[in-house]
Structure 1
Amino acid sequence: MITATVPTNHALLVGRALQQEREEGRGAHFASEVRLDGEPGYFRVDPGDPPFGPLVPPQLSDKDDHDCTVEFFWSPFQVELKEREGDRAKILYLDNLSASARFWRGADVMVFNTGHWWTHHGKMRAWDYFQLREELTEEMEPAEAFNKALRPWARWVDRNVDPCRTDVFFHSISPEHKRENLQWCYNQTRPFSDNEGYLQLFPKSMVKLVERTHLKMRAPVRYLNVTKLSEFRRDAHTGVYTKRQGKFLTPEQRK
Structure 2
Amino acid sequence: MIDHQFLLQLQLLNSETPPMEDGTSSSSSSSSSPTLPTSKYIPKRPFPPLKVPSNGVASDLKKALFSPTSLIIRTPTFRPNYRSLYFACLFTTVFLFCTVLFLFANPHLHHSSSQWFKNMLARRPQLPAYLPDFIFYDAGGGGEGGGGGKYKISAAKSNETELEGNRNGKGSELGKIGGNDRGRLKDKAWLEIMSRCDIYDGKWVKNDLAPLYERGSCSFMDESFNCHRNGRPEYAFERYRWQPHHCNTPRLKGRKMLRLLRGKRMVYVGDSMNRNMWESLVCLLRNSVKDKSRVFEASGRTDFKKEGAYSFLFLDYNCSIEYIRSAFLVQEWETTLANGSKKETLRLDLPESSYDTIKDADVLVFNTGNWWTHEKTSEGKGYYQEGDNVHEKLEVEEAFAKAMATWARWIEANVDLNKTHVFFRGYSFPHFSKGEWNTGGRCDDKEPIEDEKELLSAHEMKPSIPLMLDRAMEGLKIPVYYQNVSLMTNYRKDAHPSLFRKPNMTEDEKNYFATHQDCSHWCLPGVPDTWNELLFAQLLMIYKQRRLQQHQEQQAHL
TM-score range, shorter chain: 0.7 to 0.9
The structure number with the bigger radius of gyration is 2
In the alignment, structure 1 residue 23 sits paired with structure 2 residue 278: yes
How far apart are the structure 2 equivalents of 1:68 and 1:18?
A: 23
Task: Tell me the residue number matched to 1:97.
Answer: 351
Displacement, 1:204? 6.8
Q: Greater CA deviation, 17-26 or 108-117?
A: 17-26
Q: Larger helix proportion, structure 1 or 2? A: 2
Displacement, 1:241? 5.6
Unpaired runs of 5+ residues, structure 1, are none
In the alignment, structure 1 residue 167 sits paired with structure 2 residue 426: no
User: RMSD across aligned C-alpha pairs, in angstroms?
Assistant: 4.2
In the alignment, structure 1 residue 212 sits paired with structure 2 residue 471: yes
1:132 to 386, 398, 402: 386
Distance 1:79 1:64, change over 3 A: closer
SS in 2 for 1:165: coil
Q: Percent identity?
A: 27
Does the CA contact (< 8 Å) of 1:242 and 1:249 recur in 2?
no
How far apart are the structure 1 equivalents of 2:427 and 2:499?
A: 20
Q: Greater CA deviation, 160-169 or 115-124?
A: 115-124
Task: Tell me the residue number matched to 1:10.
Answer: 265
How far apart are the structure 2 equivalents of 1:129 and 1:176?
A: 25
Q: Greater CA deviation, 194-203 or 77-86?
A: 194-203
Q: Which amino acid aligns with 1:108?
A: D
How far apart are the structure 1 equivalents of 2:400 and 2:330?
A: 10
Tell me the alpha carbon deviations over residues 146-179 of structure 1, each in whole angstroms, 9 at most, x when there is no partner.
1211001112223333443221111123222122
In the alignment, structure 1 residue 222 sits paired with structure 2 residue 481: yes
Task: Tell me the residue number matched to 2:369.
Answer: 115
TM-score using structure 1 length: 0.74
How far apart are the structure 2 equivalents of 1:7 and 1:219?
A: 23
Does the CA contact (< 8 Å) of 2:265 and 2:320 recur in 1?
yes
Q: Which amino acid aligns with 1:135?
A: N
Distance 1:181 1:132, change over 3 A: same
Q: Which amino acid aligns with 1:216?
A: G
1:152 to 374, 397, 406: 406
* Count, aligned residues: 243
In the alignment, structure 1 residue 191 sits paired with structure 2 residue 449: yes
Unpaired runs of 5+ residues, structure 2, are 1-250, 518-558
In the alignment, structure 1 residue 82 sits paired with structure 2 residue 341: no
Displacement, 1:191? 2.8
Displacement, 1:90? 0.9
Distance 1:116 1:127, change over 3 A: farther
How far apart are the structure 1 equivalents of 2:381 and 2:266?
A: 29
Does the CA contact (< 8 Å) of 1:81 and 1:92 recur in 2?
yes
How far apart are the structure 1 equivalents of 2:308 and 2:359?
A: 22
How far apart are the structure 1 equivalents of 2:413 and 2:451?
A: 39
SS in 2 for 1:84: strand
SS in 1 for 2:464: helix
